[in-house]
Structure 1
Amino acid sequence: MRRVRTVRWCVGCLSASVLTVAAHAQLPLKEPPKGLMPNLGRPTQAADEVPLLDFDRYFIGSWTFTADAPDSVLGPGGEVSGTATYRKIGDGFYEAVFEGKSERGPFTIAETIAYHREQKVAFRHVTDSRGYSYTQAAEVGGNIGGDYRLFFKSAPFTYQGRQVRLNHTIYLAAPLTFRIDLEVAEGTGAFMHLSPWRMRRTNR
């Protein structure tokens, strides 16, 4: 009699384990991060309209950044890293604050950004605690695959008695990372490519 009860108890445990595994198997998986391209339910076509960049959806939140810049007219290069936070301050207006550290010490970059979605343009004023500020305008481009590019060009500004121009090209190709390519020129000289800043999302 004891053997029959033991067998029944083991069968019951096995059944409960199977049901538990089945229940876990039915739990929905965490939804993976999505890009900015809407799901059309079909392969994309050349005639499809490129969706407008959703600045709120992509940028707002916290990020980390790393770069390794060469020496330039802006000073000695070296590795930089830190955090960045984007937040909305009004309809079509945003603020970004970068808190970083470098071989020259800590620094802060504050940006006020205006984005006109329908016109596909953006403007920003940037103040860098390392001793300069500038204003930039950008055209916003994209493709049907959901990749976007913001090409910011600065007005000439003065830093330590030298006239400087800065270009920043922001490449958006993945929902959790993006890249900022930098170019700097002194006076009317040719642009020099600096190390890209690699951004990675930490949270919203």
Structure 2
Amino acid sequence: MIDKTVPTVEAAVAEISDGASVMIGGFGTAGMPDELIDALIARGVGDLTIINNNAGNGEHGVAALIREGRVRKIICSFPRQSDSHHFDAAFRAGKIELELVPQGNLAARIHAAGAGLGAIFTPTGFGTQLAEGKETRLIDGRHYVLEYPIQADFALIKAEQGDRWGNLVYRKTARNFGPIMAMAARTTIAQVRHIVPLGALDPEVIVTPGIFVQRVVESAPALAAVA
């Protein structure tokens, strides 16, 4: 019997070790798997490479990972915001490495990894510092930059519902990067609001098939009620 559910968030992240690359879903706080991130912090691992839309907000999520000194490198599109003070301090102190990737390129490179592509050509970034040292090509009169897929050891994502096979559906904009990150990581861990019986999810509305998910954990009831 296939059963990918685990009882606790601590068990869900138990295999993540120092030096791992970790994709974290979310657009700001929308769709952020906060419980999985807290469990990762409690686990005490460090030297992480984090792939995320931004470099954290306030005191929670990715910001908390940076605050605790667990992140060696971050690959993101929006490193600086009004409340990204932990990244700002760490970057100015030389304690964290930044790879800045335009958001469209970030999504495209993650998707390329999940699709098994060797590389992609994108017009975004051509003629800027982001294209320095990269191969460029003129295609049908337009300039493109060669970009390589972004893969990760783990993906931490958040969904609305999941079943024991790992099939997932999302809640509105909380969907954002979750589906493509699930495809691009070697191990995908999904924090879901509700684990439902097998067959309860309409196959026509499943966004992430279970083949891309290795572990599913249900949110704590108190947090799920207010999330």
Q: TM-score, normalised by structure 2?
A: 0.22
> Structure with the greater relative contact order (CA < 8 A, sep ≥ 6): 1 or 2?
2
| Greater helix fraction, Structure 1 or Structure 2 | 2
Work out which of the two has the higher radius of gyration on C-alpha atoms and give 1 or 2.
1
| Greater strand fraction, Structure 1 or Structure 2 | 1
